[in-house]
């Protein structure tokens, strides 16, 4: 080999090349949980084939650990909204005690009323901490409830203070595309139980969300591809979703 034709590089140059700069990698906890569950199931059936244990019986006894793990992973992802993950952890732990025979008797007759009481207390505590809307504010305040129904409301106020939206076995749509928050900002409380709430906003608003999803969810579908100015209108949304969903978006 003719070394004269080779570039002047230090020995073992390939091993010491600097890593290319790039965005920091984020751990996908949901995919990690799915992978661990698949590996665990495969390992159980491999041990079953080897005659070490009964995979079906083991899964029947220990399946609630998946619920506990899901709660732990969600708690790591969103420590500020800890109630939902803690419910999963607590409920999964109780189920695990039942399936493994540690707790015997009719647990369900006590579990579901206790769960209802906890949900009610949480709803009241979130309502008390959401802040009061000003009275006699006219079009600056919107109050709408969709109970077994689906009202569509809108506001074109240029000093919009906020709204109180409730959907129970129904839906509510609030259109704010012609409105503008008051100088101090606006606040919306959105409560969805077995229902859905859609909030339509124009481009250029700064959206801040506080959410408590319990077997429910929240989606912010507004565009975030451009930096907003410091004086951009501010809309704060407090979401409480139980088997329901809330969406903020630009279009229907």
Which residues partner with 238 through β-bridges? 189, 210
Confidence of residue 21 (pLDDT cuts 50, 70, 90): very low
Give the C-alpha separation, 206 to 228, whole Å.
Answer: 7
Over 70: is that where the pLDDT of 125 sits? no
User: Lowest-confidence range among 26-40, 77-91, 164-178?
Assistant: 77-91
Lowest mean pLDDT among 129-138, 166-175, 207-216: 129-138
- Judged against a pLDDT cut of 90, whether residue 49 lies above it is answered with yes
pLDDT at 153 over 60: yes
- In this predicted structure, the answer to whether residue 198 has a pLDDT above a threshold of 90 is yes
Q: Which two tokens stand for residue 31?
A: 């995919």
Q: How confident is the model at residue 26 (pLDDT cuts 50, 70, 90)?
A: very low
pLDDT at 174 over 90: yes
Name 87's Cβ contacts closer than 8 Å, sequence gap at least 6.
71, 118, 214
Whether pLDDT at 105 is above 50? yes
- The pLDDT of residue 197 is 93
Stretch 174-189: mean pLDDT: 92
> What integer pLDDT is reported at residue 93 of this predicted model?
87
Among residues 142, 144, 218, the alpha carbon closest in space to that of 178 is found at 142
What pLDDT shows up at residue 131? 52
Task: Summarize the confidence of residues 11-23 as an average pLDDT.
Answer: 47
pLDDT over 80 (residue 173): yes
Q: Mean pLDDT throughout 92-120?
A: 77
Stretch 4-28: mean pLDDT, rounded?
49
CA pair distance 213, 194, nearest whole angstrom: 12
User: Is residue 216 over pLDDT 50?
Assistant: yes
Higher-pLDDT residue of 15, 239: 239
Q: Which residues pair with 190 in a beta bridge?
A: 165, 239
* Averaged pLDDT of the chain: 78
């Amino acid at each position: 080999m003719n070394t004269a034709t080779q570039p002047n590089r230090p020995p073992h140059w390939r091993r010491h090349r600097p890593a290319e700069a790039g965005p920091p990698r984020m751990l996908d906890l949901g995919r990690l949980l799915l992978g661990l569950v698949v590996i665990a199931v495969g390992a159980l059936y491999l041990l079953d084939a080897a005659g070490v244990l009964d995979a079906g019986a083991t899964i029947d006894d220990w399946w609630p650990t998946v619920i506990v793990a899901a709660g732990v992973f969600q708690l790591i992802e969103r420590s500020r909204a800890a109630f939902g993950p803690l419910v999963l952890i607590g409920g999964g732990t109780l189920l695990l005690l039942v399936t493994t025979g540690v707790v015997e008797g009719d647990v369900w007759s006590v579990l579901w009323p206790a769960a209802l009481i906890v949900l009610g207390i949480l709803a009241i505590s979130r309502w008390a901490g959401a802040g009061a809307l000003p009275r006699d504010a006219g079009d600056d305040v919107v109050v709408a409830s969709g109970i077994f129904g689906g009202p569509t409301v809108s506001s074109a106020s240029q000093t919009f203070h906020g709204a109180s939206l409730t959907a129970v076995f129904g839906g509510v749509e609030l259109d704010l595309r012609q409105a503008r928050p008051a100088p101090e900002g606006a606040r919306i409380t959105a409560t969805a139980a077995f229902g859905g709430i859609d909030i339509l906003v124009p481009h250029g608003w700064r959206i801040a969300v506080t959410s408590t999803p319990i077997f429910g969810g929240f989606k912010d579908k507004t565009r975030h591809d451009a930096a907003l100015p410091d004086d951009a209108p501010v809309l704060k949304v407090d979401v409480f979703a139980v088997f329901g969903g809330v969406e903020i978006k630009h279009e229907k």
